[in-house]
């Protein structure tokens, strides 16, 4: 699972550093050295036209100052570098690096999408003391958005329910869905399980949570027990759903380092064999 390193502390105000770690995003792709995961140095940032004053403070990783920046869609990478989709680096980059890159991605995206006030349309400015963009014309503030979503692994005796999402990667995972306005997390669990596979559940229990920067989710994971109904995938969001019990061969599971994989791995039926490492 992705978690910030113990040596990381968040910052909202910039720190002078002649060699900062700069996380540069073009959409959901991050700029890294070609053939590796090295971040661009100051010269590479200059080559992209990144104004140091416009970068967003992210934090300190040990003694290194980390900052985020974004470039317009279609920007070509500087020599020796490439833009790689952040999601493609799960299972490749280490978890601490991914956690900080994910935080930087969300801050860069917030900065990019809140340059103008959503209420009156005037330009906003970033405050120095916190991650907030203020509209001086009408007083509206915009903070980085976090969208809660829940994930639930439904169990029936020793078996677990896995599903293949219609628009997903083809891998099998737990059920998941966004929290709607007015809902508690528990409401979302019950609603999504009912909508996606037609089951009732009980005994909802918290497992863990993980920031998921695609683009700004907080994924909160639960387990729940089957309490009624027959399995009926909706065919829209869920293409297939199946119970997997002791001794069953498992399909290709959610990506390594995801909370989905941690949730499934922690509740594998005895003797169930994973198809992928
Ligand atoms: Zn305004």
Instruction: Compute the average pLDDT of residues 78-106.
Output: 94
Tokens 């992209």 belong to residue: 48
189 located within any domain = yes
How many other β-carbons are positioned within 10 Å of the β-carbon of residue 246?
A: 12
For position 256, what pLDDT does the model report?
82
* pLDDT(128) > 50: yes
Q: Angle at Cα 112 formed by Cα 107 and Cα 115, nearest 5°?
A: 115
- Label the pairing between strands 64-70 and 21-26: parallel
Whether residue 205 sits in one domain with residue 99: no
Quote the ligand 1 centre to 123 CA distance (angstroms).
8
Whether residue 157 sits in one domain with residue 103: no
Quote the ligand 1 centre to 131 CA distance (angstroms).
17
Instruction: Compute the average pLDDT of residues 106-131.
Output: 96
Quote the ligand 1 centre to 209 CA distance (angstroms).
34
Whether residue 183 sits in one domain with residue 257: yes
The overall average pLDDT reported for the chain is 94
Instruction: Compute the average pLDDT of residues 25-45.
Output: 95
Quote the ligand 1 centre to 142 CA distance (angstroms).
10
* 244 within 8 A of 250, measured Cβ to Cβ: yes
* pLDDT(90) > 90: no
For position 277, what pLDDT does the model report?
46
250 located within any domain = yes
Quote the ligand 1 centre to 125 CA distance (angstroms).
11
* pLDDT(272) > 50: yes
Whether residue 261 sits in one domain with residue 200: yes
Whether residue 66 sits in one domain with residue 151: no
For position 129, what pLDDT does the model report?
87
Quote the ligand 1 centre to 108 CA distance (angstroms).
21
Quote the ligand 1 centre to 130 CA distance (angstroms).
18
* pLDDT(203) > 90: yes
Quote the ligand 1 centre to 52 CA distance (angstroms).
26
What token pair was written down for 22?
Answer: 């700069």
Quote the ligand 1 centre to 113 CA distance (angstroms).
14
* pLDDT(118) > 70: yes
Quote the ligand 1 centre to 98 CA distance (angstroms).
34
Per-residue pLDDT tens over the stretch 219-266: 999 999 999 999 999 988 899 999 999 999 999 998 888 899 999 999
Whether residue 99 sits in one domain with residue 15: yes
Quote the ligand 1 centre to 107 CA distance (angstroms).
20
* pLDDT(273) > 70: no
Question: Over pLDDT 90: what percentage of the chain?
Answer: 86
Whether residue 165 sits in one domain with residue 248: yes
| Structural domain span for residue 157 | 147-265
> Could you tell me the pTM of the whole model?
0.90
* pLDDT(275) > 80: no
The enclosing domain of 259 has a CATH number of 3.90.79.10
Quote the ligand 1 centre to 146 CA distance (angstroms).
21
pLDDT bucket at 2, cuts 50 / 70 / 90: confident
Whether residue 155 sits in one domain with residue 105: no
Quote the ligand 1 centre to 128 CA distance (angstroms).
19
Q: How many domains does the chain have?
A: 2
* pLDDT(189) > 70: yes
């Amino acid at each position: 699972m992705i978690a910030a390193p113990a040596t990381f502390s968040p910052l909202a105000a910039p720190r002078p550093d002649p060699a900062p770690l700069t996380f540069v995003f073009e959409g959901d792709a991050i700029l890294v050295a070609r053939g590796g995961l090295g971040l661009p140095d100051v010269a590479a940032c200059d080559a992209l036209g990144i104004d140091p004053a416009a970068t967003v403070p992210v934090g300190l990783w040990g003694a290194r100052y980390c900052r985020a920046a974004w470039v317009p869609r279609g920007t070509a990478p500087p020599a020796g570098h490439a833009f790689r989709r952040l999601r493609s680096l799960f299972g490749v980059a280490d978890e601490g690096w991914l956690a900080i890159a994910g935080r930087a991605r969300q801050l860069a995206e917030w900065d990019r999408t809140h340059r103008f006030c959503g209420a009156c349309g005037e330009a906003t400015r970033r405050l120095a003391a916190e991650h907030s963009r203020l509209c001086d014309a009408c007083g509206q503030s915009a903070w980085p958005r976090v969208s809660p979503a829940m994930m639930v692994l439904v169990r029936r005796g020793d078996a677990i329910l896995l599903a293949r999402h219609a628009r997903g990667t083809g891998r099998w995972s737990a059920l998941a869905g966004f929290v709607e306005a007015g809902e508690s997390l528990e409401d979302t669990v019950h609603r999504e399980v009912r909508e996606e596979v037609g089951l009732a559940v009980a005994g909802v229990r918290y497992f863990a949570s993980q920031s998921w920067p695609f683009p700004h989710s907080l994924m909160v994971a639960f387990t729940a027990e089957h309490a009624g109904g027959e399995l009926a995938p909706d065919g829209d969001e869920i293409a297939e759903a199946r119970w997997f019990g002791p001794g069953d061969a498992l399909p290709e599971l959610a990506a390594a380092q995801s909370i989905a994989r941690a949730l499934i791995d922690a509740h594998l039926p005895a003797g169930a064999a994973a198809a992928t490492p």
